[in-house]
Amino acid sequence: MSSVANPVVSPAAEPKISQQQPPWLSLAWFFGLLVLCYAPVLARLVQQWNNDEDMGHGFFVPVVAAYIAWQKRDQLLSRESKPNYVGIVIVIFAAIQMYIGTLGAELFLARTAVVEAVVGMVLVMGGTHALKVLAFPLFLLCFMVPLPAVIYNQITFPLQLFASQVAAFVLELVGVPVLRDGNVLELPSQKLNVVEACSGIRSLLSLTFLSLVYGYFFENKAWMRVVLFLATVPIAIIANAGRVTLTGILSEINPDLAHGTAHTASGWVIFMIALAMMVLTHQILNRLYGFFTRRFASTLEKASA
């Protein structure tokens, strides 16, 4: 009698779990060399963050970018890293750019070279996959570099004029006599000069950075993130014009309120209002999107019925 042996069934192969660990030693070496090579540039950059109120958000930029990069570590380790040595070319180019910028006292060139060097470092260590995954936090690093003086001056002066025009119009509406001469407001009690610090560039730079971070954490739709980023421009400009108007009204009550601590505090209050306006804009747009999406879906159902 012939017997048939039961076939031996081999257990299903378990999926391989990536045991890759971040290359801590290589990261430490690259980061240490980067800090060492760019130490003079970084020192002056941090000094400007500390002294220039327009760039106060600079301290938070590398911290937020590093946190977002850490959140993406699983995506980075999901593939075996394949170094792309084009990154070495970028690192060398950044070093040359930093050297030229230092010789020519062109701070913007020297400082953007730091960001370029970080991009080259990511490309060398992780390849194009790492560069794609970390594209957003790398882009955020651009916000830690102050605008070049040429662009800064081109932006601030029109903003000064706009803020003074809006302030003059509103002050006349509320019954405060005002004579505007460029960015100077002549009030009964004193003369207000809408200087660069009151142009709105400070809130504009900080608010655009915050809009990107807010959109990343609280919005999944790419187009909505873009809209939020663009919406910060008119929000910051309008909010700052409101600050200048408020300063003019308060100065008629007490001239001391147009200067010092009260003026600084009003700037923080207006910035928080602008931030709230950005969040409110996001909520309104989301509700409108949901409303029109449901209407469109119901129309399609009726048409197919």
136 and 169 fall within a common domain: no
- Predicted pLDDT at 258: 66
Which domain covers residue 154, as residue numbers?
A: 150-298
259 in any annotated domain: yes
Q: What is the pLDDT of residues 17-53, one digit of tens each?
A: 445 677 778 788 888 888 899 999 999 999 999 988 7
131 and 241 fall within a common domain: no
158 in any annotated domain: yes
- Does 135 have pLDDT greater than 90? yes
186 in any annotated domain: yes
304 in any annotated domain: no
Nearest to 258 by CA among 171, 134, 151, 181: 171
The number of C-alpha atoms within 13 Å of 8 and in the hemisphere containing its C-beta is 1
Q: What is the pLDDT of residues 65-96, one digit of tens each?
A: 999 999 998 888 888 778 899 999 999 999 99
- Predicted pLDDT at 1: 41
- Predicted pLDDT at 8: 45
221 and 194 fall within a common domain: yes
Total domains in the chain come to: 2
- Does 249 have pLDDT greater than 60? yes
**% of the chain beyond a pLDDT of 90:** 37
126 in any annotated domain: yes
- Predicted pLDDT at 151: 84
